[in-house]
Structure formats: C-alpha cells, structure tokens
Copies of this chain bind each other. A is one copy, B any other.
Amino acid sequence: MTTGDDTKAAGEEMYALVERLYPLCRSITGDGVRATLDIVGEYLPLRVHEVPTGTRVLDWTVPQEWNIRDAYIADAAGNRVVDFAASSLHVLGYSVPVSATMPLAELREHLHTLPDHPTWVPYRTSYYTPDWGFCLSQETLDALPDGEYEVRVDSTLADGHLTYAEYVVPGQVADEVIVSCHVCHPSLANDNLAGIAVATFLARALAEQTPWYTYRFLFAPGTIGAITWLARNAERVERAVKHGLVLACAGDPGRLTYKRSRRGDAEIDRVMRNVLQASQRPHEIREFTPYGYDERQFCSPGFDLGVGSLSRTPYAGYPEYHTSADNLDFVRPEAMADTLALCREAFSVLDRNRRYVNLSPYGEPQLGRRGLYDSLGGRSDAKQAQLAMLWVLSLSDGTHGLLDVAERSGLPFDTVAAAADALHDAGLIKA
C-alpha cells in the first residue's frame, strides 16, 4: 500500500466521513439520501438534483419516495426486541407502513435472518413489490418466546422525489470522465460509504489543480439513480463522456480489483492495467459482466461507455457483504487511502495519455544538438530517459498514445511522459 503522511491523513479523514455517514438510513429515495449529500456537501460544493416521482427515465419510472421515522417489534411487555433506532438495517428497505399485533408464527413470514452467521443482521429491500419486514440476527430470533408481538413500521411511501448530486472539476478540455458511486445503502460501511468517501476525496484532490479532462462526480442511488442521470444527460453522454469509473467496496483490507468495461479494451481499461501492474500492488483484473454496480447501466449497449469499476474485494466476494458485519470495523483508513492513491495515479496517466506526432520523422532527429543528451547526463536514470525519447519519437506517428509507448517499450509511464515533455519543449513533437 502507499505510505506517506499525506496519504495517512487522507485515510483518517475518509474514515471520519464514513463514521458520520454510517448511522443514516439511506434508500433509493428519501431524506437519508439528502442527509448524506448534505454531509458530503460540507466537503464539496455539490449540485443536488431532485427528480419527481413518476418521471419516465429510460425504461423505468421514478418511484414514490420512501421515508421512515420509526420501526420496531415489541413483546407483550412492551420491550422493543427489534428496533430501527438501533440499526437502519433492521427494517426491510421500502417497507410499507404497518401497525399490528400478531403471533410470532405469523410474524415469522416477515422476518429475515442469516442462519449461517447467527449474530449478523442481513440487509434486504423490496423496492418495487410492496412488502414490509424486519431483519434481525438468528440469535435474536431464536430467543423470542412464542406469543403476541406488536409490530410497527412508521414509514411513508408517497409522491416525492429521487435525489442525486453532481460535482464537476473543470478540466482543460470539455471531454468528461465520470466517477460514480451509489448512495442508497443504509448502515453498510464498505458497500458503499467507503466508495463515497474515496470519491469525495478524489474530487477534492483533482480540484486542487486543473486536470486535462473535466471530471464529473456522481453521487446517486444504485440502478434507478444511474438510469435517471443517464436519461437526463443522454446528450452529454453522447457528446462528452469519454471515460469513467464506478467506485464501490473501496475500503476493505483486500487487494484491489478492477473490472473492465464492456468494451474490454477501452482506454480506462488499459490505463488501469498499466497502473496496477506498474504499482506492483497485489490486484486482480476481471472481465466485464453485465452484473455488479452501475457500470451495468453505463455499459449498456446503447451507451457502451468506457466505464470500468474499481473495488477492493468485489461485489458479493466477502461474507460480510450485505450484512451488519460490513461495519466500521470492516473498513480501514489505510485501505481507503490506498484506493484513493491508485485512483489518482490512474487519472494522472489518463490525463497525460495523449498522441503526439513526430515533427522530424525521417531518421532520428539529432538530440545532442538540442541538449537532450547533455541535459540528462547527471541523472541516474539518464539511459532510460534517453531510451524513452527514442521510443516516443519512434511511435509518435499519430496512431499511438503515450500509454502505447509505455506498454510497447516496457518503460514506466512517468518516464515516457517526461520524455514527451522534453521532446515537446524542444519542438520535436506536437500534440
């Protein structure tokens, strides 16, 4: 993992953000999303969008907004044996309101547990089929005596809005890179508060400079949020979006995992492979599948964007996934810091991966006359730097970018980019 004081500090700050977001009850709509975006808004000047219930978005319709104030199961003595106030996971996401008393046998049909992990509470939702329910540990369930229980879900399902936010870092060109994370999961730390935190700090870091590309960060509920954004930005997607990255499960201690775009060899795919390999971090690169996070939407065949997905231990790849064990102990500051560092390295390569044209393509230009040999004489990496210049000159025929040069030569991208800068300054190549 990357070390250094700055990185360590970033890890701690991201962890603190995760801690603040953790208790909120998020869903695909509602005030939990708004409260989440309010907190992220303290770090970034977000632009928040509210899209009314019933709006047609591609093949979907924005659903009713769900809000919840309280929910519990109380025993005959009035003791709350399952209480939403203790954890937002206890209530089935999008539960319709209920207020009833019923015997345990009848109640069981609405209870969800994880028998294989008897102390963990599962995360369950029912967005598009009206239902109500509670999630609890198997141990809690096993301890419940038979008898009558009071059941109450104080929720509202009504016309309202779907909420998402954007933050744009203007670049030197209008071409965009989208960075997307989902904000719809309740008290789950790795999936996806760590992703939100990494996206937030990545945006802040990019905003400290003027990157080459314009970076558009998207904080939106999963699936319906991405679909809503795509529906409202179809023209931009067509015209401006060139690359993208979906961030999820960004904070667990596992190795980094990059999932390729549907295209499989999009520029972001090649950048990620180069950076992961060059960094010598343990990592895995996976082929695209149409299942996972919102890359499903960005990579749908009509859009077919060059959007990959970066995780540490990926989707459903760890037992804590979608359970109460995906908690504040499961994510680590240094893991988030490492994910952030990798993203910065990758976007640094992406930003510099341009095609040049050798202006002196017939034979080698005389580098010595221009001080391009001498100027390197005192550097210990002079030989590599010189070789990088020859490679950039050799491949700068209008069809190869600097990443191509790095890959074919086996030289580090930074060395190749520095060589290109020197040649550009000498007037030997042009972009």
Contact = CB atoms under 8 A, between A and B. Distances in A.
A291 B393 CA distance: 12
A129 to B, nearest CB: 8
A409 interface: yes
A366 interface: yes
- Number of copies of this kind of chain in the complex: 3
A376 to B, nearest CB: 14
Interface of A: 58-60, 128-129, 223, 226-227, 230-231, 234, 262, 289-291, 296-297, 299-304, 358, 360-366, 368-369, 387, 390-391, 393-397, 409
A304 B396 CA distance: 12
B301 A59 contact: no
Given A368-B128, A387-B291, A58 B362 contact: yes
Q: What does DSSP make chain A's interface, helix, strand, loop or mixed? A: loop
Which 9 residue pairs spanning A and B have beta carbons closest together? A302-B361, A302-B362, A290-B390, A290-B394, A301-B397, A59-B365, A58-B363, A301-B361, A227-B363
Given A291-B390, A368-B128, A369-B128, A362 B409 contact: no
A363 B289 contact: no
A230 B409 contact: no
A232 to B, nearest CB: 12
Nearest to A264: B408
14 contacts: A59-B365, A60-B363, A129-B368, A226-B363, A227-B363, A230-B362, A230-B363, A289-B409, A291-B390, A299-B394, A301-B361, A301-B393, A302-B363, A303-B363
Given A289-B391, A301-B396, 12 more contacts: A59-B360, A59-B365, A128-B366, A128-B368, A223-B364, A231-B362, A290-B364, A290-B390, A291-B387, A299-B394, A301-B358, A302-B358
Contacts of A129: 368
Contacts of A393: 290, 300-301
A358 B302 CA distance: 9
A365 B227 CA distance: 10
Contacts of A234: 362
